[in-house]
Amino acid sequence: MSKLFSIAATSVILLALVWGCSPSRPLAHQGRQVNVPAALVEPVTIKAITTNHKSPVKPSNAGVLPLSEANFVDTVLNAGKPVLVDFYADWCGPCRMMAPVVEEIATSTNDQIMVGKLDVDANPAAAAHFKVKSLPTMLIFNNGEVVDRVIGVTSKDELMSRLQDVS
């Protein structure tokens, strides 16, 4: 019986999402009013993420900064120079193919461009905020704004060309 109720509740939530219901506009199901959890219908914003992290982010061995939702604003949006952010996942084959390319760019730019990597599985709010739907996705930021987006596997020359257009 509880399994059937769980399936019914899941169906109600999915219908609520499709119909665009919100906590302020509850869904009526079989004569009962069902409130949809706000987390399922309200947009995620990265500004809601706060940080207590005050120490500077240290680059990895290859000069690539490990990014997270906790340090993203301080490290990327307030960088003062162009930033290449690689949105990746450990299980993603194409992401693993791009890792050496991203590391080469980090070592060859001589601190003119900051390069970071953000694991989308560990940081889903940041990925949702920047509408990352395919992996790998590389975003180029300048003055805190996304100025270019590269989706999928690409060459080092293509990425360098796009970075030079920004800087």
> In the numeric block, which tokens belong to residue 146?
């996304």
Q: What pLDDT shows up at residue 60?
A: 57
Residue pLDDT, tens place only, 9-27: 444 444 344 344 444 444 4
**What ranges do the domains of the chain cover?**
2-41, 46-166
Any residues with CB less than 8 A from the CB of 131 and at least 6 apart, and which? none
Nearest C-alpha neighbor of 85 from the set 135, 10, 45, 51: 135
Is the confidence at residue 68, as pLDDT, over 60? yes
Residue pLDDT, tens place only, 101-142: 999 999 998 789 999 999 999 999 999 999 999 999 999 999
CA distances from 116 to 8, 23, 106 (A): 43, 37, 8
| H/E element, 14 | helix 2-19
Comparison of pLDDT for 75 and 33, the residue scoring more: 75
Q: What pLDDT shows up at residue 61?
A: 53
Q: CATH says 46-166 is which class?
A: alpha beta
> In the numeric block, which tokens belong to residue 162?
């796009």
> In the numeric block, which tokens belong to residue 73?
């604003």
Q: Determine the Cα angle at 161 with ends 157 and 166, to 5°.
A: 150
CB atoms within 10 A of CB 62: 15
- Residue numbers annotated as active site: 92, 95
DSSP state of 87: E
pTM of the model: 0.66
Q: What pLDDT shows up at residue 167?
A: 77
The three-state secondary structure class of 60 is coil
